Amino acid sequence: MGSDNTGEFDLIARFFAPLAAPDAYSLTDDAALLPAIPADHRWVVTKDAMVAGVHFLPDDPADLVARKLLRVNLSDLAGMGARPVGYALATAWPKGIDIAYIDAFSEGLKHDQHHYDVTLVGGDTVSTDGPLTLSLTAFGTVGPSGPLRRNAARPGDDIFVTGTIGDGMLGLRAAQGLLAHMKDADVAYLADRYRLPQPRCDLGAALAGLAHGGMDVSDGLLADLGHMATASGVGMEISSQDVPVSATAIRVLNDLDLDLKALFTGGDDYEIVFTAGGEHLDAIVEIAQRTNVPVTRIGSVVAGGGVRLDGAEIDLAAGGWRHF
Amino acid sequence: MGSDNTGEFDLIARFFAPLAAPDAYSLTDDAALLPAIPADHRWVVTKDAMVAGVHFLPDDPADLVARKLLRVNLSDLAGMGARPVGYALATAWPKGIDIAYIDAFSEGLKHDQHHYDVTLVGGDTVSTDGPLTLSLTAFGTVGPSGPLRRNAARPGDDIFVTGTIGDGMLGLRAAQGLLAHMKDADVAYLADRYRLPQPRCDLGAALAGLAHGGMDVSDGLLADLGHMATASGVGMEISSQDVPVSATAIRVLNDLDLDLKALFTGGDDYEIVFTAGGEHLDAIVEIAQRTNVPVTRIGSVVAGGGVRLDGAEIDLAAGGWRHF
């Protein structure tokens, strides 16, 4: 691209080098060196891609796109009970993209790096004739109690979920301008929930060694319960009245004449669903208070298979398995 | 995308799950668990992106695109002296892409996984309205002697390079059909060198603790020597007659009426350039023989700065710094 200011080296030096951990090497070497960790710890790695027009809206603010990209990966780490440490970033910028967009994007990353105490370790910056395409690889660590797994739910466990379910699914509609007739404050609340997930990092890490099954909720609550039921070889029974939903979601749901179940089949929640034996209830309450994350019991793990909502078997093939 | 056979879960189950390390978890969990390594080892991570039409040709065979994607990342690890272990993969497939392309792509990965003894640990599969966009994050380990660094070349060192330089740059022209008037065997040799780099993994790992400066040659030999000179605060003096070039490259160069220097400013070599004290010459010869990789001394590290070719200072800003 010659000497214009979107050349790879200029972009890296101007916007991404300031975000990098100086001892990670990657911005001056071929690859990054991850920090040393205790001998009884292990690295956990996740990688999510986002494409403009598919995973975010072309007019979403650049800083929020960057923060969502980082946060959906941190949510995966939280779902594994891993404590986040750093990330690598690959960006394919459309030719001719406004430098102000890249500037705002890097500012968003900077903000969330501080918030979650993670650093950029390296990556790649290329150009594309297509839409903005982003890929982020996040690195975290788990201690001797090991990662949370989807395959570890046991019959008799209680099922818990963090935060509220369904705001992300309604938030997409809000961000798309489809709720323009609703109250401004409701639209803003939901759009923010869609654009800026709240990964439950501290809570996820605290659950390691205590919870049995665990994962993040990103494909829709019922679909993700189905994933865990299948991986664990168990059944999941939940009650719709127990699933935490926001007052805003209820208002909007009524206005749209949608059933409560719609909230449980949308995606973009980025909460944690986990199971634990009843003897851990006090410890879970303590963790919820300490990490300032609401945790709600929504049902029970049973022998068998499948997911039942209010006693009715859910057809998982129809309910949110696919998210593109 | 409904229930057609390019749904994310179908693609993963059919083409990518068979490539995954069963104990890495990621294909059934939110994130992958990297294997335990000795306490005195460290993880090295690199991430490269490739876009159709920018980094590979839209009609390049899918299996070779996949293998190049993996190999350019392994070359980065080799440039750090790291031994490859695994990789995560993010793919953004154009809507409506032929399943046969994805099948061939996964077959290419399978082939090279065996060859380099690495496994898929996880990743993401999404769709795009734009060109095929790929991002791969490769993981390797270094032992107590630590990684090769760009900043460690010392005045008095000899400079070495592996393989031959410039075939990749001519190979791009061959793959583009611009050398159709040349001998078929020459065109095929060069196109293969462009499409299928030979990362010097074993040699790179063997150099750790022996070489001073080290990196992979991917932006062009002179540009990469410039990177190392700057990072190390030294000068680099090489002689064009000492730089190893293939007989094919010489023939094509003459036919195109290009100067030898053109070979040193193109990219896509994926060789290793490194520096070492003269006392290590015997050890380097032994490593070259053991790993079956040609190694050639091309010059000397001197005090000062910059890169000199046959005594003439190279203007690095003009010579291959940017590769998109």
* B247-283: pLDDT as tens digits: 999 999 999 999 999 999 988 999 999 999 999 999 9
The separation between the first and the last C-alpha atoms of chain A, rounded to the nearest angstrom, is 33
In chain B, which residues have their Cβ closer than 8 Å to the Cβ of A39?
39
A271 touches chain B (CB under 8 A): no
Asked if B135's CB is within 8 angstroms of A49's CB, the reply is yes
Per the prediction, chain B carries an average pLDDT of: 92
Residue B3 pLDDT more than 70?
Answer: no
Contacts of B91 (CB under 8 A, 6+ apart): A49, B105, B123, B124, B125, B126, B132, B133, B134
In chain B, which residues have their Cβ closer than 8 Å to the Cβ of A2?
322
Residue B320 pLDDT more than 50?
Answer: no
Which fold is adopted by the domain B150-310? Phosphoribosyl-aminoimidazole Synthetase; Chain A, domain 2 (3.90.650)
Please say whether the beta carbons of B270 and B216 come within 8 A.
yes
The encoded tokens of residue B302 equal 């001197």
Please say whether the beta carbons of A27 and A12 come within 8 A.
yes
- Residue B5, classified by CB atoms within 10 Å of its CB into exposed (0-12), middle (13-18) or buried (19+), is exposed
Lowest mean pLDDT among A260-274, B4-18, B231-245, B275-289: B4-18
Contacts of A310 (CB under 8 A, 6+ apart): A239, A240
pLDDT exceeding 70 applies to what percent of chain B? Answer: 95
**pLDDT: which is higher, A64 or B319:** A64
Q: State which residue of chain A sits closest to B5, comparing Cα positions.
A: A322
Please say whether the beta carbons of A87 and A124 come within 8 A.
no
Q: State which residue of chain B sits closest to A217, comparing Cα positions.
A: B30
> According to the model, what pLDDT value does residue A12 have?
77
Q: State which residue of chain B sits closest to A35, comparing Cα positions.
A: B42
CATH number for the domain formed by residue range(s) A150-312:
3.90.650.10
> According to the model, what pLDDT value does residue A28 have?
77
Which A residues 89-108 touch B at CB under 8 Å?
A: 89-92
Alpha-carbon gap, residue B194 to B208, rounded angstroms: 27
Alpha-carbon gap, residue A292 to A302, rounded angstroms: 29
pLDDT exceeding 90 applies to what percent of chain B? Answer: 81
> According to the model, what pLDDT value does residue B195 have?
93
**pLDDT: which is higher, B322 or B243:** B243
Collapse the DSSP code of B179 into the 3-class scheme (helix H, G, I; strand E, B; otherwise coil) and give the result.
coil
Smallest Cα distance from B36 to chain A, Å: 6
Which residue in B30, B80, B135 is closest to A46 by CB distance? Answer: B30
Confidence of residue B318 (pLDDT cuts 50, 70, 90): low
Confidence of residue B324 (pLDDT cuts 50, 70, 90): very low
B79 touches chain A (CB under 8 A): yes
The encoded tokens of residue B170 equal 């001519």
Asked if A129's CB is within 8 angstroms of B128's CB, the reply is no
Please say whether the beta carbons of B272 and B162 come within 8 A.
yes
**pLDDT: which is higher, B10 or B278:** B278
Quick count: other Cβ atoms within 10 Å of Cβ B259? 11
- Could you tell me the pTM of the whole model? 0.92
Quick count: other Cβ atoms within 10 Å of Cβ B96? 8
Asked if A151's CB is within 8 angstroms of B47's CB, the reply is no
CATH number for the domain formed by residue range(s) A8-142:
3.30.1330.10
Q: State which residue of chain A sits closest to B3, comparing Cα positions.
A: A322
Please say whether the beta carbons of B297 and B160 come within 8 A.
yes
> According to the model, what pLDDT value does residue B85 have?
97
Give the highest mean pLDDT range of B31-40, B174-183, B288-297. Answer: B288-297
Residue B5 pLDDT more than 50?
Answer: no
Asked if A53's CB is within 8 angstroms of B122's CB, the reply is no
Q: Splitting chain A (324 residues) into consecutive groups of 10 residues, what average pLDDT does each group show?
A: 49 84 79 93 96 91 97 97 97 94 96 96 92 97 95 98 96 92 94 95 95 95 96 97 96 91 93 97 97 98 97 77 34
* pLDDT tens-place string over residues B14-33: 888 889 887 777 777 889 99
Q: State which residue of chain A sits closest to B75, comparing Cα positions.
A: A30
Alpha-carbon gap, residue B301 to B68, rounded angstroms: 31
Buried b (16+ CB within 10 A) or exposed e, A133-168: bbbbbbbbbbbeebbbbbbbbeeebbbbbbbbbbbb
Which B residues 26-55 touch A at CB under 8 Å?
A: 26, 28-34, 36, 39, 42-51, 53-55
> According to the model, what pLDDT value does residue B12 have?
77
* pLDDT tens-place string over residues B45-88: 999 999 999 999 888 999 999 999 999 999 999 999 999 999 99
> Structural domain boundaries of chain B?
8-142, 150-310
Q: Mutation test of the interface with chain B: which of A10, A12, A30, A80, choosing the one with the most B Cβ atoms within 10 A?
A: A30
Quickly list DSSP for A68-137: HHHHHHHHHHHHTTPEEEEEEEEEEEETT--HHHHHHHHHHHHHHHHHHT-EEEEEEEEEESSS-EEEEE
In chain A, which residues have their Cβ closer than 8 Å to the Cβ of B39?
39
* Mean pLDDT within B89-117: 95
